[in-house]
Structure 1
Amino acid sequence: MKLYIQNNFTTELPADPSEINIPRQVEQACFSYVEPKKTFNPSLIHASVEVGNSLGLSEEDIHSDDFLNTFSGNTIYPKTKPYALAYAGHQFGNWAGQLGDGRAINLTEVVHNDKSYTLQLKGAGPTPYSRTADGFAVLRSSIREHLCAEAMHYLGVPTTRSLSLMLSGDQVIRDILYTGNPAYEKGAIVCRVAPSFIRFGNFELFASRKDHTTLQLLADYTIKHHFPNIKSEGVEKYLDFFQTVTQTTLDMIVNWQRVGFVHGVMNTDNMSIHGITIDYGPYGWLEDYNPNWTPNTTDNQHKRYRFGNQPDIALWNLYQLANALYPLINEAKPLETILNAFGSDYQKEYLNMMRNKLGLKTAKANDAILIESLTELLPLVETDMTIFFRNLSNVQKGDTLEVALDKIKEAFYNEKAFNESILDKWHLWLEHYSNRINQELFSDNERKEQMNLVNPKYVLRNYMAQLSIDAADKGDYSLLNELFELLKKPYDEQSENQKWFAKRPDWARDKVGCSMLSCSS
C-alpha cells in the first residue's frame, strides 16, 4: 500500500509544544501531535473502493493488512505524525470556547492526481481536546457517518467522504439518550476524507484569544493551499476568501434543502471552510415535509437547527466567521456587504432549485408564488417529501386534477386526514401547476427526465440506517452493503430496490434512532 504523503499543515503552522495527551487548554497552536490509541482486534466492515481509488489505493490495497493497521490507528504510516486540530465554536448559539478534535485524529495529507486530501480517523482515542470524553466512537454512529457521507456525495451534495468503517474490537460505554442509563456498545472507527478539516471555529479560536499572529498564519495557509484561485493581496485577499466561503456555504445549504437533509448540529465548529457537509451526528432526511423538524433530541425544545431554519443559521454562522476574520481586515463595511447579499442570493438560488424540482425550465414572474403556496400546502397533511417530488414528475400536461392528484397520493401518510378545505387547496395548486407546465415547450418525458435528475428516488432514511445498524450489531453486514450500493445511484429507478421507495413505516415513527437521535456516539 503506497500513499504519496505531504505534511503541509504540520510543517507550515505552529504546533502545540507539549505532546502530553491530557485534556487542557492549548495556546498559540493550530494543532497537537497525538497518536491513535491501539485497538484490541480491528476488523474491516466496509470500505469505499471509489474513495480508495481517489487516494491512489487499489481494491487489493484496501483488503491488505497494511490498510487494516493504518486505518484502525494501530500502525503509524511512514513519514507521518498524526495530529488533532485546535478550534473553538458557538454551540447552539452560545460561545463554547476551545473545543478541538476531541475524538478525531488526522493521520496525514495525501496527494493523488494533483489533488490533496486529509485523512482523519474518527473514534481513534482521546486527544488534548477530548475534555471529559474518551475519544472513541460506537458502531451505530459510525455506520450512520459512513453511509451518509457517501450517500450525500452521490446525491451531488458537497460533503466529506468516508474511506473505511472498522470495528475496533473494543467495547465503549455510552448513554444513548442521556437518560442516566449507560451501556456498553461496540467500538468503531471511520476514516474520513476531505480537502482539509479546517472549520469556522479554527479562526474563531485565535480571534477570541486576540492571537492575531496565529490567526493570520492560518488564514494565509488556508488561502495558499485551498483557495489558489485567490490572487489578491492584503485586505482584499481575506475578503475574497470570505466571499468564496460564503458562496460555497450557500450552495451547500441549497443542496441540503433540495434533498430534504437536516444536519441537526449546525454549530460553528461543524461548518467547513470548504462549503462541504462535515460531522454527521444526529442528522436526518425529512420524512413528512415539516419545516420545523429537527432530528436532534438536544435541540427538541428550541429547534434552532430545524430544516426550515438552516439557511438563517448558515448566515448566523457566517457572521461569526466574519467577526473572527475582522482583525485581518479592520473594516466592517465590506464584510457586511457580503453578508447582506447572502439573503437575496440565497432566495435566487433557492428559487432556481425549486424550479428545477418542479420541472420548470423557464423563469416566470409567478413561480415564487407557486412554490410558496406548495411549501405551505405540503405540511397540512403528512406528505413524504422524497416521494412527492419524485412522483410529481409523472403528472402530464393533459391530466385532469383527479388524475394528477392520484399520481402523487402515494406520498400522503394518511389520505383520511384530507378534509374538503385541504382537498380544494390541492386541486387549486395542481390547477396552477398544470397551467404552468403547459407554458413549457418541452415534452412531458423531457420534463420527467429533468426532474428525476434533481429529485432523488432513494435517500438514507433514518429507519433504513437503523435497520442496518441492528443487523450489524449482530454481525450481519449484508444490509449495510445493500444500502451502500443502493445509495450510489439515488436518481436511478432501480426497480429491484423498489421496496426502499416507501414512506417511513409506522414502527419507526417514534423509535430511537429513527425519529429521535442524540449527539451520543
Structure 2
Amino acid sequence: MRLNIDDRFNQQLPADTVQTPSRRQVTGAAFSFVTPRVPSNPQVLHIAADVAEMLGLSSADLASDEFRNVFSGGKVIEGTRPYAMCYGGHQFGSWAGQLGDGRAINLAEVQHAGKHWTLQLKGAGETPYSRTADGLAVLRSSVREHLCSEAMHHLGVPTTRSLCLLTTGDQVLRDVMYDGNPEMETGAVVCRVAPSFIRFGNFEIFASRNDLKMLRELADYTIRHFYPAIETGTQSGYGDFFYAVCQRTLTMMVHWQRVGFVHGVMNTDNMSVHGDTIDYGPYGWLEGYDPDWTPNTTDRTHRRYQFGNQPQIALWNLVQLANALYPIVGEAPPFESALQQYQHDFNREFTRMQANKIGLSEVIEGDEDLLDQLDAVLQLTETDMTIFFRLLGNVKKSADVASGSDFLSPVRDAFYAADQLTGEVLEPWRDWFAKYLSRLNKDSETDQTRREQMNRVNPKYVLRNYMAQLAIDAADQGDAALIQELYELLRDPYSEQPEHEKWFAKRPEWARHKVGCSMLSCSS
C-alpha cells in the first residue's frame, strides 16, 4: 500500500514520557504514543473513493489485506508511531479539565498532491485519555460519522472527511439512551481525514495549567504548518492567528445555518482551529423548521446547542480560545477586535446567505424585515426546512396571492399538516408572499435564472437522521447497499436526481420519535 508518510505532530512536539494506555493526567506533552487494538475479524464495509484518491491510494491498495488491517487498527504502518492527542475543553459551558483523544488514534500524516493530511481512527481502542470508557465505537455511530462527513463536504460545508468504514468482528457494550439498559452492538472503526485534528481544547489545556512553554510550542507549530502567511513566535502573530480562526469559524457557521445542520455537541473540544466541522455525534438536520431544536438528548433540557444558538455558541467558544491564547499575547485588544469583527461579519454574511436562499442576489433596504418575517411564518405550522427552500425556487413572479391558498401550491409539499393552512396560519403566509413577490419584481432576473441560483445554495438532499438509521439497520444485518446508495446520493445534493426522488420527502411519521431518527445520545 502506497502512502507518502510525512509525520509532523508526533515529531515536532513533546511526547508523553509514559508509554502505556493507563488512564492518567498527561502533563508537559501534546500527545501520548499508543497502539491501536487489534480487531478479531475486520471487514471493509465502505470506502469513499474520492478521499482515497485524495490520499494517493490506488484501487489495488483499497482491495488489499494491508488496507483492511491498517485501517481497522490491526497493523501499524511501517515507520510510523500512532498517537492520541492531549486536550481539554468546556463541555456544555463548564470547564471539564483534561479530555483528550479517548477513542481516537492518529495513525499517520501523509503528503499527496501538495496537500497534507492526518489519518485518524475512531474506535480503535483505549488511550490514556479514555477515562472510564473502552476507546471503541459501534456501527451505529460509525455509519453516521462516515456518511455525514462526506455529505457535508459535498454540501460545501467545511468538514473533516472520512476514508472508510470497517466492522471489527467484535461486540461492544453500549447504553444508547443512558437509561441503564446497555446492549451489545456491532463494533466498528472509521478513518477520519483532516489537515490536523487540533482543537480549541488543545490550547485550553496548556493555558489551564499555566504551561506557557507548551502553549507557545503548539501555537507556533499550528501557525507554521497551517497558517504560513502569519509570523510565528510573536505577540502580533498569535493575534493574527486568532483572527484567522475566528474568520474560518464564521464561514463554517454560515454554512451550518444555510443547510439546516445542527451539530449537537459544540463543546470547545469539538471545535477545530481549521474551521472544519469535527466530531459527528448526535447531529441532525432540521426537519420541521424550529430554531429551538437540538438533536442531543443530553441537551434537551437547556438546549444550549439548539440550531438558532449555534453562531453565538461559536462566539462563546472563540472567547474561550482567546482566554487560552491571552497569556502568550499579554493584551486584550487583538482578541476584542477579532471577536467584534466576527460579530459584524457574521451578521453581514448571514443576512447575505439568507437572502440568497430566497433568490435575492443582493440585500437592499427592507430585506432584513422580509427575512425576519419568513423566520416567523415558517414556525406557524410544521414546515420542512430543506423542502421549503428547495421548492421556493418554483415560485413565479406573476403569482396571485389575493385570494384562496393556491399561492402556496409551489411549496405545499413542505408542510407536515397542510390542513392547518387556514385562517390565522394562512393570512401571515399570504402577507409574506405578497411582500416577497413585490421584492422579486424589483429584480431583473427571470424566474428560471433565479431558480437556478437558488438551487445552488438550497440542497435537495440532506442526510436526515431516519435515512442514516435505515442504513444502520441494514448494515447491522450485513447489507451495506444502502450506505453506498446514500453515499452516491449525497455526493450530488444540489442536483435533481429524479431516480432518487423518494429521498426528497419529509420525515416519515414512524420516525418522529424513533430512537436514532429524532434525538440521539452521545453514546458511540
TM over 0.5: yes
- Quote the residue 1:380 is aligned against: 380
Q: Please tell me the root mean square deviation across aligned C-alpha atoms, in Å.
A: 0.8
* 3-state SS, counterpart of residue 166 of structure 1: strand
Extract unaligned runs of 5+ from structure 2.
none
Alignment of 1:275-286 (within 5 A): 275-286=275-286
Residue 67 (structure 1) shift = 0.6
* 3-state SS, counterpart of residue 191 of structure 2: strand
Aligned-partner residue type, residue 315 of structure 1: L
Residue 516 (structure 1) shift = 1.8
- Quote the residue 1:98 is aligned against: 98
Task: Give distance in 1, aligned partners of 2:289 and 2:61.
Answer: 43
* 3-state SS, counterpart of residue 247 of structure 1: helix
- Quote the residue 1:398 is aligned against: 398
- Quote the residue 1:423 is aligned against: 426
Task: Give distance in 1, aligned partners of 2:280 and 2:363.
Answer: 35
Residue 74 (structure 1) shift = 0.6
Cα 1:326/1:281, change in 2 over 3 Å: same
Task: Give distance in 2, aligned partners of 1:335 and 1:48.
Answer: 39
Matched, 1:211 2:214: no
Matched, 1:461 2:464: yes
- Quote the residue 1:474 is aligned against: 477
Task: Give distance in 2, aligned partners of 1:517 and 1:424.
Answer: 36
The equivalent position to 2:440 in structure 1, one of 420, 437, 445, is 437
Contact 2:465 2:516 in 1 (8 A): yes
- Quote the residue 1:326 is aligned against: 326
Task: Give distance in 1, aligned partners of 2:446 and 2:418.
Answer: 30
Task: Give distance in 2, aligned partners of 1:333 and 1:301.
Answer: 36
Matched, 1:230 2:230: yes
Q: Which segment is superposed worse, 57-66 or 424-433?
A: 57-66
Q: Which segment is superposed worse, 91-100 or 231-240?
A: 231-240
- Quote the residue 1:142 is aligned against: 142
- State the Cα deviation string for residues 466-500 of structure 1 (Å, max 9, x = none): 01111111111111111110000100000000000
Q: Which segment is superposed worse, 223-232 or 313-322?
A: 223-232
Residue 92 (structure 1) shift = 0.3
Contact 1:118 1:193 in 2 (8 A): yes
Residue 421 (structure 1) shift = 1.7
Task: Give distance in 2, aligned partners of 1:385 and 1:310.
Answer: 17
* 3-state SS, counterpart of residue 279 of structure 1: coil
TM-score between the two structures when normalised by the length of structure 2: 0.99
Alignment of 1:352-391 (within 5 A): 352-391=352-391
Matched, 1:163 2:163: yes
Contact 1:362 1:440 in 2 (8 A): no
Q: Which segment is superposed worse, 214-223 or 361-370?
A: 361-370
Residue 232 (structure 1) shift = 6.6
Aligned-partner residue type, residue 142 of structure 2: S
Q: Which segment is superposed worse, 64-73 or 383-392?
A: 64-73
Contact 1:3 1:57 in 2 (8 A): yes
Task: Give distance in 1, aligned partners of 2:376 and 2:182.
Answer: 42
Contact 1:16 1:28 in 2 (8 A): yes
Cα 1:232/1:107, change in 2 over 3 Å: closer
- Quote the residue 1:498 is aligned against: 501
Aligned-partner residue type, residue 465 of structure 2: N
Aligned-partner residue type, residue 494 of structure 1: Q
Aligned-partner residue type, residue 152 of structure 2: M
Runs of 4 or more off by more than 4 Å in structure 1?
none
Aligned-partner residue type, residue 476 of structure 1: D
Residue 336 (structure 1) shift = 1.1
Residue 222 (structure 1) shift = 0.3
- Quote the residue 1:44 is aligned against: 44
Residues paired across the two proteins, number: 521
Residue 233 (structure 1) shift = 5.8
Contact 2:223 2:232 in 1 (8 A): no
Task: Give distance in 1, aligned partners of 2:494 and 2:399.
Answer: 25
Contact 1:288 1:383 in 2 (8 A): yes
Task: Give distance in 2, aligned partners of 1:132 and 1:417.
Answer: 50
Task: Give distance in 1, aligned partners of 2:233 and 2:144.
Answer: 42
- Quote the residue 1:452 is aligned against: 455
Task: Give distance in 2, aligned partners of 1:428 and 1:59.
Answer: 57
Extract unaligned runs of 5+ from structure 1.
none
Task: Give distance in 2, aligned partners of 1:104 and 1:166.
Answer: 15
Task: Give distance in 1, aligned partners of 2:110 and 2:68.
Answer: 18
Contact 2:148 2:463 in 1 (8 A): yes
Task: Give distance in 2, aligned partners of 1:148 and 1:363.
Answer: 32
Contact 2:102 2:129 in 1 (8 A): yes
- Quote the residue 2:342 is aligned against: 342
- Quote the residue 2:30 is aligned against: 30
Alignment of 1:56-95 (within 5 A): 56-95=56-95
Aligned-partner residue type, residue 482 of structure 1: E
- State the Cα deviation string for residues 124-172 of structure 1 (Å, max 9, x = none): 0000000000000000000000000000000000000000000001100
Contact 2:121 2:192 in 1 (8 A): yes
Aligned-partner residue type, residue 381 of structure 1: T
Task: Give distance in 2, aligned partners of 1:109 and 1:20.
Answer: 22
Task: Give distance in 2, aligned partners of 1:404 and 1:143.
Answer: 41
* 3-state SS, counterpart of residue 189 of structure 1: strand
Task: Give distance in 2, aligned partners of 1:133 and 1:258.
Answer: 35
Matched, 1:18 2:18: yes
Contact 2:90 2:268 in 1 (8 A): yes
Q: Which segment is superposed worse, 414-423 or 467-476?
A: 414-423
Residue 403 (structure 1) shift = 4.0
Task: Give distance in 1, aligned partners of 2:41 and 2:89.
Answer: 35
* 3-state SS, counterpart of residue 5 of structure 1: coil
Aligned-partner residue type, residue 71 of structure 1: F
- Quote the residue 1:153 is aligned against: 153
Task: Give distance in 2, aligned partners of 1:364 and 1:411.
Answer: 28
